[in-house]
Each structure stands twice: as structure tokens, then as C-alpha cells.
């Protein structure tokens, strides 16, 4: 049976070159980077090289990058770390209603600790309004956190414009959750006017359990851990050297192929979108019809249940998601679709397709054919 993996926003298959790099470091360069002997020095050199490569991808200084365990930890560090270090200047945080749970739940925890959080609305495409951001900024705002690409619907936020507004109108720090954007679309050159940025390895064909936080030089954030001083005490703990080496290879490949992979994914996504919307009745696009992420497509199949459709597709070797993987075990409605003003039928029947550049047009045609058949069958059994 053909296998069509369309859940790349949940996680990706590690590339052959990244997994070779991981294996090589695990078996040959297994020293602890803090050890003073040659094995330690070898491991330390690997980290230094990886930091340099990733800094070049972002156009920032290697000293501004800190390795973490992934996007969730980078987001926690960015938001809690700046809130704790800045709370004497103010206790107001701004974010949006469509952030990943690793941002929203951190903000909710800070609210319990006395911080005030403003959640910006989004329009029906899932995009925030810059006027709302401008009017939400106050003299007490210490942090704005906005994701670059939404993981459920693929809306792209106006990060560069937001950065300019924040810097011109406040003293706030600006954090960007770039987990779905890094290696997929060009980021703001040199991360201008961005103070903190989160990256994860497993979304770009790198290993799980490795990520990066960018912290602009001279930005002070509190560490959330106490330990042996690694990563300048921002993220103490023995470094995940194999993961770091794998992330380096994955990041290098993603940046070398950025335009090519972007165009391939966008072409495939548009074929899938047009095929579904034109050939299957009662389907609704959730997210921008133009200008969205190249790799994320969210469509509601009215009169179906996303979870039933997901399992029906699985029987044909097609793997999709009903929303974000992180929240799919909770039986809650998608907070992203709700914020976009979607109704219960649209939310219930929503499926996220997330693409990689390694798919083929035959994979897409096969998916459309299977969808046509399965949606029809499910609609006979699901009462509207
Ligand atoms: C936008 C976004 N932020 C953060 C994360 C969390 O990243 P990680 O799985 O590396 O903790 C994800 C993962 O799905 C994501 O999509």
C-alpha cells in the first residue's frame, strides 16, 4: 500500500544525513563536552560548529544561540525567563489567541502569578491586526510573543511589521515562536528587532528533543533551571551533542534548499487544496487562501467528524491530523478555529494536511481520490 505522510507539522522523518550525523556522534564522539580530556574537547567542538552553522542560517551571532530540548522549552524560557527578569518594569504580556499551547499555557500560568495577559484577536484567515497590537501596548508591557506560522492553519503573521511597531511604541521585548517557520519560509533578515526566537529540530527533518532559543545580545532573561553552568547557565545540563549535530545538518539542508522546497510544497499544497475544494462538495478552507505557509493546509469536511476521517484515511496509508498533535489527545475544540470564528460543524470536520517536499504529485492525487470515497461514506453515517 502507498504511504502518504501528511503530518509533517506534528513531526518529520529524520533525514538520512541528519540521522547519520546523530549516529556518528553517539558512537564516535560521545564525550561530555564539559570533560577536560580530548573526548570532551571533540564534543565541545561539535557544539561550536553547530552553533556557528545555525547562527549563519539566522544571520545572528553564535553567542546569541542556546541549545534546548525543543520548541516547548524554548518558548517556556523565552516567556517565563523574560517575565521573571523584567517584572519590576511591568507585568503586562501580549500574545495572540492562536498560539501553540507551549505559549498560551505559559501565559496562563503567569496570569496565576499576577501578570496581566492580553490575547489579541485574529481575523477569519487567522492573522492578527497590527492596529490591535499597537493599541494593546502600554508602558507596562514587558513582552510580546507572536508565532511566525500557525501550526494548525498555516497563517503567517506579519512579524517584521509587528517588530517595528513594538520597537517604535514600547520598551517591550519581542519573542517569536518560529517552530513552524524556521527552514520553511525566509525569516526577518538578521532577526531585526526580534529579541527572542524559538526553534525545534524535529519539524525540519532533524531529531526530536533538540531545539534552540535565540536571545539577542544584552537581553537579560532569568534561567528556569539551576545546574552545572552549561549554555551560559541559561540552559544547564549536559548538552544533547548527537541531537545538536543532527539539528545542524537538518538546518543546513533546509536553508540550502529553502526556495526549492518552499516552491515544491506550495505547488503540492495548492494541488491538494484545489482538488479537494473543487471535487468534494461541502468543503471549507480554514486559513488564508493566498499567502499562507507552504506546508500547512486545513480543510473542514462538513457533515463528517475529523477523527473518523483521520482513521479512515489511515486505512489507506494516509496520515493526517485533526488539529495540532500536541492537543489531539484532549477532546477540546480547536482554540485556533474558534478564534477564527469557525462554527461547530467546521471545527468538528477539520483536517490538517501538512506537507514535506519529499511528497509527489501521485501522492496528492491518491489522497484526493481516497478522500472523495471516504468522505462520501462517512457522510452517510454522521448525522448533521
Ligand atoms: C508553533 C509551535 N510551537 C511550539 C511547538 C513545540 O515544539 P516541540 O514539539 O519541539 O516542543 C510546536 C510543536 O508542534 C509548534 O507547532
Residue 338 Cα distances to 28, 40, 342, angstroms: 50, 50, 5
Task: Say which of 57, 107, 271, 326 is annotated catalytic.
Answer: 326
CA of 321 to the centre of ligand 1 (A): 15
pLDDT given at position 313:
98
pTM of the model: 0.97
Q: Is the CB of 145 within 6 Å of ligand 1?
A: no
pLDDT given at position 384:
60
Q: Could you tell which of 101, 102, 149, 295 is best to mutate to test the pocket of ligand 1, judged by most ligand atoms within 8 Å of the CB?
A: 102
Considering its fold, how many domains does the chain have in total? 2
Q: Could you tell which of 69, 77, 151, 298 is best to mutate to test the pocket of ligand 1, judged by most ligand atoms within 8 Å of the CB?
A: 151
CA of 361 to the centre of ligand 1 (A): 28
CA of 241 to the centre of ligand 1 (A): 21
pLDDT given at position 344:
94
| Residues with Cβ within 8 Å of residue 383, at least 6 apart in sequence | none
CATH code, domain carrying 140: 3.40.640.10
Residue 57 annotated among the catalytic residues of the structure: no
pLDDT given at position 92:
98
Q: Is the CB of 154 within 6 Å of ligand 1?
A: no
Run of H or E including 165: helix 159-169
pLDDT given at position 332:
77
Asked if residue 114 and residue 229 are part of one domain, the reply reads yes
pLDDT given at position 221:
96
3-state SS, residue 146: strand
CA of 35 to the centre of ligand 1 (A): 32
**Looking at 238, 256, 274, which one is the last position of a domain?**
256
Domain span at residue 297 reads 4-12+258-381
Asked if residue 375 and residue 237 are part of one domain, the reply reads no
Q: Is the CB of 338 within 6 Å of ligand 1?
A: no
pLDDT given at position 310:
97
Asked if residue 247 and residue 313 are part of one domain, the reply reads no
C-alpha cell at 263: 516552491
- 141-147 vs 350-354, strand pairing mode: unpaired
Q: Is the CB of 269 within 6 Å of ligand 1?
A: no
**Looking at 205, 230, 256, which one is the last position of a domain?**
256
pLDDT given at position 289:
85
Q: Is the CB of 71 within 6 Å of ligand 1?
A: yes
C-alpha cell at 99: 498560539
CATH code, domain carrying 343: 3.90.1150.10
Asked if residue 239 and residue 199 are part of one domain, the reply reads yes
Asked if residue 184 and residue 106 are part of one domain, the reply reads yes
- 211-215 vs 196-200, strand pairing mode: antiparallel
Give pLDDT tens digits for 72-100.
999 999 999 999 999 999 999 999 999 99
Q: Which residues of the chain have pLDDT under 70?
A: 323-331, 383-384
DSSP lists the bridge partners of residue 7 as: 354
CA of 213 to the centre of ligand 1 (A): 13
**Looking at 215, 238, 256, which one is the last position of a domain?**
256
Atom of ligand 1 nearest to the CA of 326: 14
Amino acid at each position: 500500500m502507498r504511504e502518504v505522510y501528511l503530518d509533517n507539522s506534528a513531526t518529520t522523518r529524520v533525514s538520512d544525513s541528519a540521522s547519520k550525523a546523530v549516529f556518528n556522534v553517539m558512537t564516535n564522539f560521545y564525550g561530555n563536552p564539559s570533560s577536560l580530556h580530548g573526548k570532551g574537547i571533540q564534543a565541545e567542538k561539535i557544539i561550536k560548529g553547530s552553533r556557528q552553522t545555525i547562527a549563519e542560517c539566522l544571520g545572528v551571532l553564535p553567542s546569541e544561540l542556546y541549545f534546548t530540548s525543543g520548541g516547548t522549552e524554548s518558548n517556556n524560557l523565552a516567556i517565563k525567563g523574560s517575565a521573571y527578569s523584567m517584572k519590576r518594569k511591568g507585568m503586562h504580556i501580549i500574545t495572540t489567541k492562536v498560539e501553540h499551547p507551549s505559549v498560551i499555557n505559559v501565559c496562563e500560568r503567569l496570569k496565576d502569578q499576577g501578570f496581566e495577559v492580553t490575547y489579541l484577536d485574529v481575523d477569519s484567515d487567522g492573522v492578527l491586526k497590527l492596529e490591535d497590537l499597537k493599541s494593546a501596548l502600554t508602558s507596562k508591557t514587558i513582552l510580546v510573543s507572536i508565532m511566525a506560522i500557525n501550526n494548525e492553519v498555516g497563517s503567517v503573521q506579519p512579524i517584521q511589521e509587528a517588530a517595528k511597531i513594538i520597537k517604535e511604541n514600547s520598551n517591550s521585548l519581542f519573542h517569536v515562536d518560529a517552530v513552524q517557520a524556521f527552514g520553511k519560509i525566509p525569516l526577518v533578515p538578521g532577526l531585526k528587532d526580534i529579541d527572542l526566537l524559538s526553534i525545534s529540530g524535529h519539524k525540519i527533518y532533524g531529531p526530536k528533543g533538540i531545539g534552540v532559543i535565540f536571545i539577542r545580545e544584552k537581553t537579560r532573561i532569568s534561567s528556569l533551571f539551576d545546574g552545572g553552568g552549561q549554555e551560559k547557565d541559561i540552559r544547564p545540563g549536559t548538552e544533547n551533542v548527537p541531537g545538536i549535530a543532527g539539528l545542524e545538518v537538518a538546518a543546513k539542508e533546509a536553508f540550502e534548499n529553502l526556495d526549492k522546497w518552499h516552491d515544491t510544497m506550495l505547488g503540492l499544497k495548492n494541488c491538494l487544496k484545489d482538488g479537494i475544494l473543487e471535487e468534494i462538495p461541502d468543503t471549507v478552507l480554514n486559513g488564508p487562501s493566498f499567502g499562507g505557509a507552504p506546508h500547512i493546509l486545513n480543510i473542514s469536511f462538513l457533515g463528517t467528524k475529523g477523527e473518523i476521517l483521520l482513521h479512515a484515511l489511515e486505512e489507506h496509508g494516509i496520515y493526517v491530523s485533526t488539529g495540532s498533535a500536541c492537543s489531539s489527545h484532549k477532546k477540546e475544540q480547536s482554540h485556533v478555529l474558534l478564534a477564527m470564528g469557525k462554527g461547530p460543524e467546521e471545527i468538528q470536520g477539520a483536517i490538517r494536511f501538512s506537507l514535506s517536499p519529499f511528497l509527489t504529485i501521485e501522492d496528492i492525487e491518491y489522497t484526493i481520490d481516497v478522500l472523495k470515497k471516504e468522505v462520501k461514506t462517512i457522510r452517510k453515517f454522521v448525522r448533521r
